[in-house]
Structure formats: C-alpha cells, structure tokens
Amino acid sequence: MPLLGCIADDFTGATDLASQLVSIGMRTVQTIGIPDEGLAADLEDIDAVVVALKSRTLPAETAVEQSLAALEWLKARGCEQFYFKYCSTFDSTSEGNIGPVTDALMDALDVSFTVACPALPANRRTVYNGYLFAGGVPLNESGMQDHPLTPMTDANLVRVMDSQTRHRVGLVEFDCVRRGSEAVRSRFDTLRADGVGVAVLDAIEQQDLETLGEACRDLTLVTAGSGLALGLGARWRDQLTGGDAARLPAIPGREVILSGSCSRATLAQIEHTKAHYPHYRLDALTLAENYQDQVAEALALAREHLDRSPVLIHASASPDNVKRAQQLLGVQAAGEIVERALGEIAGALVNELGVRRLLVAGGESSGAVVSALEVKGLQIGPSIDPGVPWTVTLGTGERLALALKSGNFGSEDFMTKAWETMP
Ligand code: ADP
C-alpha cells in the first residue's frame, strides 16, 4: 500500500516530484490520470503514487472535480498523507487553480489547516517574507509575468493565495524556519488559533525544506512544489518497502529521441545531438501542406539507421521559425500538427520498427507521445539530470523505457548521455 498519495497539476511536474521521491528511497509510480484496474498489480509494492493530471489551466471547477476524483482514488488505495503538487513558480490563473483545489482537498479530507510551499532552492525558487523569487528576482520580474497561460504579476504569495482561497492565509517567516521544526510547529499552532487555514512557508536553502518537511510530518495534506518532498521523506524512513527505489527492469531495444520543445535548453541539446546521431527535422508548415509525406520521410530515416544508432526526430526550431509557422497556421494549429506527427511517429516506431527506448523533449510533446502510446503508468527510475528520470511503462502491453524532459531541463549533452544511465 502506498504511504504517500500525490496529485500533480501537470505531467512533467508529476515526473519531477516522482523523481524527488525516488531520490529519498521511496519506490514511486506515476499514473497518467486516474488509472483503471489494469494497473492494480503494479501498485502493490510501492511507497508513493503520483497521479498526473493536466489541470493547471483548466476552468477551476473542472480542476477541482478532477483533483477530488484523484483524491478519492488515492484514499481508496490506503494512502496516509496527501500532497498537492504545483509548479515552483506557483503557476495559476486569476481564478486559481491552486486555491480552489486546495480548498476542495481540505474539505474532502476534513482538515482545517495546510501549507503552501513552492520553494525549490535547487532551481533558485526561494520564498522570503512570503515573496517568491525565481532566479534571484521577484516572480513578477522573472519572465513569468509574460507567461501566455498563467501570467504571474504578483510575487507576494500571501496576497496571491488570499485571492484564490476562502481560507485565511498566514505566513511562517524565515526567522522562524531557521529556529527549527519545533518552532515551525508551534507557529502552525498560533496561526491555527488565529483562524488561518493556509500557511505560506518561507524557504531559501535546502536545509529550510528539511526543517519544514519535518514540521509538516503530521499534516494530512500539504500543498507544494516538488521541493518539500525531500523534507517529508524522514517521516517514512522506517516504513519503506526497502531496496533500491530507482531500480528498473532492463529494457533492450532500439533508441530514439523525439522533440517538440523549442525551449532554449532543448535547442542547445538538439545542436549537440545532431553532431552525434542521424537526425530529421519536422517542419510545421510542411506538415500542414503534406503531412503524410513528411511523416513517412521521418520514418524512412529511422528505418535506415536505427539498428546502428539512436535517431533524432525533432520539430524544434528557432523562435523566428516558430513565429512564422504560428502566423501562417495559428498558434494552436501549429502546435497541434506537430504534436499529432510526434504521436503518430512514436506509435509507428514502437509498433513497426522495434523501438523500445524513447527520450521525449517537451511537456506538451511528452503528453502527445504518451497518449499516442496509450501509456497508463510509469515506474520511476534513476535520474539523468535533476527532474528527469528514466521510467518504465506499466500495465498491459510491451514495456518501454521513457525519459520525458520538460523544455528547460537537462544539460547540453542530455540527449547523448541519457543512454548511459539507462537500466
Ligand atoms: P516545452 O516543454 O519546451 O514548453 P512543449 O512540448 O510543452 O515544450 O511545447 C512546445 C510546443 O511547440 C508544442 O505544442 C509543439 O507542438 C510546438 N512546436 C514545436 N515545434 C514547432 C514549430 N516548429 N512550429 C510551431 N510550433 C512548434
């Protein structure tokens, strides 16, 4: 029976949390949405489960509905503690969804107090006096103020949370955090007595998250980025299934890299990889004109080289190039046609060409590939770089090794070194 049940509001964020849990010795499974009975056997001998939703930018009502369904499923599995995972930049729309989902989970679990802790010092997301900093600057100056879907224009999380939740919002200040977990717990008591339902937590360094994790050990519900997981781990130490939590079965087979990410880090990784492996570039405009021919060409290149080397198939392009495609096709349609092609190519590579090991770059792109391959769940294994573990698919059907990389993660040689860390 899993001890810890997590609900993540997006796909690669779920993988990030799952890989943090594995790093503290918890055998962890990530499910794609709420799984059906097909996964039952894979959920028996694990310490934590992360349900990956795609609820971050849904209407708040739908996000609440999905999160509550995930909670019910986790409760039925026997989880003892629950973790609502969101982004370390507190990505939310003006309507939520962090506040409304937190409220609904508190009601469903019958708790009157929880915490909000997005801090992730390893990625330079820190909280001081309730203000969230990303890369050393306030959130609203970090570029997040221009995010197309979840623009963050206020770095003050007490204010942001206050506008989203019906609970009173309080703060556990940095000075208190530095006095240790006992001091934090007693601050929780004071806040509770003052009628506070959600406490924003200051944290600047890793050691602060450890203090906070220890202080949160008895809370039924926590809400956080992936960072708090490290601190919570101590609670479970004596109850874990044991052994190497990152162990995965060996998956032999052909190797491919698929990328639909146009993030800066991915573009550098693609340049590096092109010098090492055969590669093919999908073009959004060409796909729009002649979809079948371009997909066939990509598969022909793969067929020619796959028995000797990994092959790279990517749509990744410079911002100018992407903009041109978006102007001519529309933003949505340009993204969709690339995602459709990546999904179809992934299906053919696996079903017809014997590919069993896939590295996918891009959050949305990963979603498209996982859905085309009808993946229901992932066993989380060793990390290639922080936040990007190797995983092995669960459920019925042939097992695949998948590494799903969100755009800005990974070092420049990520796509060539990844194969060395494979089980
Ligand atoms: P990231 O994690 O880097 O944000 P995503 O996969 O989430 O990557 O998002 C990238 C989006 O850009 C996807 O919807 C993808 O289909 C789209 N895309 C990729 N290449 C192009 C291109 N050449 N022109 C237009 N859109 C593209």
pLDDT reported for residue 57: 85
- Which protein residue's CA is at the shortest distance from atom 19 of ligand 1? 260
Q: In order of start, what are the domains of the chain with their CATH numbers?
A: 4-239 (3.40.50.10840), 254-421 (3.40.980.20)
Ligand 1 atom 4, closest CA: 407
Which of ligand 1's atoms lies nearest the C-alpha of 266?
3
Q: Which atom of ligand 1 approaches the CA of 322 most closely?
A: 24
Ligand 1, atom 12, lies closest to the CA of 335
Largest CA distance in the chain: 69
Confidence at residue 148, expressed as pLDDT on a 0 to 100 scale: 66
Structure confidence by residue, pLDDT tens digits, 127-170: 999 999 999 999 999 888 877 678 889 999 999 999 999 999 99
3-state secondary structure of 116: strand
Residue 262 CA: which ligand 1 atom is closest? 3
Residues with CB under 6 A from ligand 1: 260-263, 266, 284, 315-317, 321-322, 325-326, 334-335, 338-339, 362-365, 406-407
Whose Cα sits closest to atom 16 in ligand 1? 335
Q: Region 372-382: what's the mean pLDDT?
A: 94
Phi-psi region of 410 (alpha: psi -120 to 50; beta: other; left: phi over 0): left
Report CA(406)–ligand 1 centroid distance (Å).
Answer: 11
**What is the residue with the minimal CA distance to atom 5 of ligand 1?**
362
Q: Where residue 332 falls among pLDDT bands split at 50, 70, 90?
A: confident
**57, 93 contact by CB (below 8 A):** yes
Q: Sort 63 into a burial class: Cβ within 10 Å, 0-12 / 13-18 / 19+.
A: buried
Best residue for ligand 1 mutational test, from 267, 342, 365, 369 (most atoms within 8 Å of Cβ): 365
Residue 143's pLDDT is what? 82
Handedness of CA 175, 177, 178, 180 (dihedral sign): positive
Q: Has residue 423 got a pLDDT over 80?
A: no
Identify which of 315, 310, 305 has the alpha carbon closest to the alpha carbon of residue 415.
310
For 365-369, the CB contacts below 8 A with 24+ separation are 365/258, 365/259, 365/260, 365/261, 365/338, 365/339, 366/11, 366/12, 366/404, 366/405, 366/406, 367/11, 367/54, 367/339, 368/260, 368/339, 368/340, 368/342, 368/343, 369/258, 369/342, 369/343, 369/404
Please choose from 261, 313, 404, 406 the residue to mutate so as to test ligand 1's pocket, defined by most ligand atoms within 8 A of CB.
261
Given a cut of 80, whether residue 69 has pLDDT beyond it is yes
Q: Which DSSP helix (H) or strand (E) runs through 308? A: none
pLDDT tens-digit readout, 226-285: 999 988 988 888 888 888 899 999 999 999 999 999 888 899 999 999 999 999 999 999
Probe residue for ligand 1, chosen from 331, 364, 406, 408 as the CB with the greatest number of ligand atoms within 8 Å: 364
Question: What Cα–Cα distance (Å) separates residue 176 from each residue in 32, 172, 179, 184?
Answer: 38, 7, 5, 6
Ligand 1: atom nearest CA of 342 is: 16
> If you measure from the C-alpha of residue 229 to the centroid of ligand 1, how many angstroms do you get, rounded to a whole number?
30
For residue 138, what are its two tokens? 């306030």
| pLDDT of res. 149 | 76
The DSSP H or E segment spanning 378 is strand 377-385
Beta-ladder partners of 196:
168
Rounded to the nearest whole angstrom, what is the distance from the C-alpha of residue 421 to the centroid of ligand 1? 26
Q: For a ligand 1 pocket test, name from 267, 314, 338 the mutation site with the most ligand atoms within 8 angstroms of its C-beta.
A: 338
pLDDT above 80 for 38: no
Atom of ligand 1 nearest to the CA of 366: 6
Cα(225)–Cα(58) distance, rounded to whole angstroms? 19
Closest ligand 1 atom, residue 12 Cα? 2
